[in-house]
C-alpha cells in the first residue's frame, strides 16, 4: 500500500506577480526548485497565508536568481502580489520508504531567497 506524503515545501514565499490571462501554473525561481527537488510540470498545492485560499496547479521554471513566484491563470484570482504562500509537493511512498523519507523544506526571505534549508525527520 502506498501513502501520500510531503515531498518538499517552499515556506513563506512572496507572490511577485499574478497573471490571470496566462495558461495556468506557478512560476518558481530555479534556485528554489533546485533547493527542494521540485520539478517542472509537477503538481503542487499552494496555501495562501494571507487570503487563506488553497489551490492546486503545476510548476513552471522561473529565471534563476529572479525571486519570481508568479501565479498564473485562474489561480491568480485566489492570491495577490505581496501575499505569502506555502508551496507543497507530495509523493506516494510505501511504509518502508516513509520510515526513511526526509522532505526538503526551504524557508524564504521576503525576496524569495533561501533563508534556511532543512529536512523533516521521519517518524
Mean pLDDT for the chain overall: 96
What pLDDT score was predicted for residue 23? 82
Grid cell at residue 46: 499552494
Percent of the chain with pLDDT over 70: 99
What pLDDT score was predicted for residue 121? 84
CA distance 80 to 17: 7
- Catalytic option among 58, 94, 117, 120: 58
Given a cut of 80, is residue 72 above it in pLDDT? yes
What pLDDT score was predicted for residue 38? 98
For 87-121, how does the pLDDT look when each residue is reduced to its tens digit (9 = 90+)? 999 999 999 999 999 999 999 999 999 999 999 88
What pLDDT score was predicted for residue 24? 78
Asked about 22 being catalytic, the answer comes back as no
Q: Please state the rounded mean pLDDT for residues 4-11.
A: 98
Per-position b or e across 49-86, b if 16+ CB within 10 A of its CB: eeeeeebebebbbbeeeebbbbbbbebbebbeeebbbb
Given a cut of 80, is residue 123 above it in pLDDT? no
Q: Please state the rounded mean pLDDT for residues 7-33.
A: 96
Enumerate domains of the chain plus CATH numbers. Answer: 2-117 (2.40.40.20)
| Global confidence as pTM | 0.95
Asked about 94 being catalytic, the answer comes back as no
Amino acid at each position: 500500500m502506498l501513502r501520500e506524503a510531503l515531498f518538499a515545501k517552499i515556506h513563506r514565499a512572496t507572490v511577485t506577480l499574478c497573471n490571470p490571462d496566462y495558461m495556468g501554473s506557478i512560476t518558481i525561481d530555479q534556485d528554489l526548485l533546485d533547493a527542494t527537488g521540485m520539478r517542472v510540470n509537477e503538481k503542487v498545492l499552494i496555501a495562501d497565508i494571507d487570503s487563506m485560499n488553497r489551490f492546486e496547479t503545476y510548476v513552471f521554471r522561473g529565471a534563476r536568481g529572479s525571486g519570481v513566484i508568479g501565479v498564473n491563470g485562474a489561480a491568480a484570482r485566489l492570491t495577490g502580489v505581496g501575499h505569502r504562500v506555502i508551496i507543497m509537493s507530495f509523493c506516494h511512498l510505501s511504509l518502508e520508504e516513509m520510515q526513511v523519507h526526509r522532505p526538503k523544506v526551504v524557508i524564504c526571505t521576503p525576496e524569495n531567497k533561501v533563508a534556511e534549508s532543512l529536512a523533516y525527520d521521519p517518524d
